[in-house]
Amino acid sequence: MTFNPFIVPSAKSQLISFKVGTEPTFPPFEMPSEDGSGLQGFDIDLMKAIGNEVGLEMVFESLPFDGLIPALQSNTIDAAVSGITITAERGQSVGFSSPYFKAGLAIAVQENNTKIDNFEDLTGRKIAVQIGTTGAMEAEKIPNAQIVAFDSAVLALQELVNGKVEAVVNDAPVTLFAIKNAGLRGVKVVGELVTEEFYGIALPINSEKTMLLNYGLFQILRNGTYKQIYQKWFAGEPFILPLIAPSLIGTTSSDFTTNPLSGSGSQSVLTLLIQRLPQGAVVTITLTALSIFFGLMGGSFIAFGLISDHKILKNILRIYVEFFRGTPMLVQLFIIYFGLPAFFQGIGLQWSLQRLPAAVIALSLNVAAYLAEIIRGGIQSIDKGQWEACEALGMNRLQTLKEVIMPQAFRRILPPLGNEFITLIKDTSLVAVIGFAELFRQGQLIVATTFQAFQVYIAVALVYLVLTTLSSFGFKWLEQKMDPVGQKKEKGLLRNA
């Protein structure tokens, strides 16, 4: 059924379900409702009110912020509402309703910071932003700034509270709400608003529903519903809204390249991929190498403990292994990176971990638990008789382990170790959530500015595939090298084999 925007169904039975994507950690615009059963917030109330006017039943779907525009492009959702600023660049990939809210970017710093008063003071500083937002784009313009991108504004602000960055550039209403209403402590907003922005409902380009939503918006602006919703979430009188966002006035599509391999702006997707993916791959490889190194050391220690006769040690190590195998790595990472510093601050200690040690610790602790079991299995797979034979020869336990058991066990451990290594390469993508610009996050960052989700993620997958395939070959080669039968064959020493 197609809609004539001016013939609006009134009966409830005629409501048409309308899928709206939103990133639900952007209070007070969208956040989980108190009982956790759904969503609440200014945007949510606004959409429902518009829906009532025009006969649409809004069905909200949570998505990451940087996934909203790709989801609209692929028509996975009918619209997106998420405090999305109407910008000319985004206007090339999606359509927008008329503006429904006036906002702007603000700089947040720690309360005791006296060095940062305005945007110019941010030069060369460490700044946290939310990936794919106008705050992230504005921060890119700051000379020499070290920018860390998080999945949500809340995580970026948490980073500031934990003292790991000096500032956050983010939408003013959200930062102010977090300070005033959500109990964000030790943070203040400085200076003037960095930008003036208008939020709009985003729709697939040329969506027939744009007019309908605009009609609903005008209705609720006229009949006072908008004001009611505004005053439920914000104090004071709502701003007067323009019909069209100033950012869209005077831009034409010829201002932007339209080649599918071209990004918005001057750099093509291909150039960005060539520049950024290798950087990301280096980070991924470094993380994997460090974590497998520490994981192997820890795993070996745990495995030896597990096969020892020491009861208490054995039990402690068992609990360790069960904990790290039985809980998601993502949760472990959040505990180490966000949880521990918050806990220490709670008890009056200023302690926090930098990104690299936090990521390596989380990955190593996790991988050690898996490797421990692999190593233990390898050692125990060697026939008991060999221990006895060595004992008869007068060798002690350590000597037996070193000279006889481990060389054989290691060969058996190699194939599962290879599997673990490959899993680890892929698992490093999890540390993107703490703002690590590894391979996957580099891809996300490119999509955030170019909106070419398909090409970019395929390219990212291919780079992972190259890394895992090379590792597979590496382990195969190592297996052959370690195999005495194969070695002899190679040297021609085993004629009949």
Contacting residues toward ligand GLN, per CB under 6 A = 23, 26, 65, 82-85, 130, 133-134, 153, 171
Instruction: Work out how close the CB of 161 gets to ligand GLN at its nearest, in angstroms, rounded to a whole number.
Output: 18
Closer of 376 and 441 to ligand GLN (Cβ): 441
Closer of 173 and 298 to ligand GLN (Cβ): 173
Distance CA 178, CA 256 (A): 36
How many angstroms separate the Cα of 335 from the Cα of each of 178, 215, 259, 331?
22, 47, 43, 6
Distance CA 69, CA 456 (A): 14
Closer of 153 and 447 to ligand GLN (Cβ): 153
Instruction: Work out how close the CB of 103 gets to ligand GLN at its nearest, in angstroms, rounded to a whole number.
Output: 6
Whether omega for the bond prior to residue 415 falls within 30 degrees of 0, making it cis, is no
The DSSP code sequence of 67-131 is HHHHHHHTTSSSEE-SS-B--TTGGGTEEE-S--EEE-EEEEEETT--S--SGGGGTT-EEEEET
Closer of 58 and 303 to ligand GLN (Cβ): 58
Closer of 154 and 379 to ligand GLN (Cβ): 154
Q: Are 81 and 43 in contact (CB under 8 A)?
A: yes
Instruction: Work out how close the CB of 338 gets to ligand GLN at its nearest, in angstroms, rounded to a whole number.
Output: 19
Instruction: Work out how close the CB of 258 gets to ligand GLN at its nearest, in angstroms, rounded to a whole number.
Output: 22
Distance CA 21, CA 201 (A): 10
Instruction: Work out how close the CB of 478 gets to ligand GLN at its nearest, in angstroms, rounded to a whole number.
Output: 46
- Closest to 61 measured CA to CA, from 95, 20, 29, 24: 20
Instruction: Work out how close the CB of 133 gets to ligand GLN at its nearest, in angstroms, rounded to a whole number.
Output: 3
Instruction: Work out how close the CB of 68 gets to ligand GLN at its nearest, in angstroms, rounded to a whole number.
Output: 8
- Closest to 470 measured CA to CA, from 412, 425, 410, 414: 425
Closer of 79 and 367 to ligand GLN (Cβ): 79
Instruction: Work out how close the CB of 198 gets to ligand GLN at its nearest, in angstroms, rounded to a whole number.
Output: 9
Q: At what angle do helices 209-222 and 225-233 cross, to 10 degrees?
A: 80
How big is the CA angle at 460 (ends 276 and 70), to the nearest 5 degrees? 95
The residue with tokens 């025009």 is 54
Closer of 83 and 443 to ligand GLN (Cβ): 83
Closer of 82 and 288 to ligand GLN (Cβ): 82
Neighbouring C-alpha atoms within 13 Å toward the C-beta of 151: 16
Closer of 85 and 400 to ligand GLN (Cβ): 85
Instruction: Work out how close the CB of 153 gets to ligand GLN at its nearest, in angstroms, rounded to a whole number.
Output: 5
Helix extents (H) in 223-339: 225-233, 269-306, 311-326, 329-334
Instruction: Work out how close the CB of 287 gets to ligand GLN at its nearest, in angstroms, rounded to a whole number.
Output: 27
Reduced to 3 states (helix: H, G, I; strand: E, B; else coil), residue 268 is strand
Extended beta strands in 330-409, E state: none
Instruction: Work out how close the CB of 438 gets to ligand GLN at its nearest, in angstroms, rounded to a whole number.
Output: 22
Distance CA 184, CA 155 (A): 12
Closer of 23 and 427 to ligand GLN (Cβ): 23
Closer of 41 and 443 to ligand GLN (Cβ): 41
- Closest to 484 measured CA to CA, from 410, 416, 419: 410
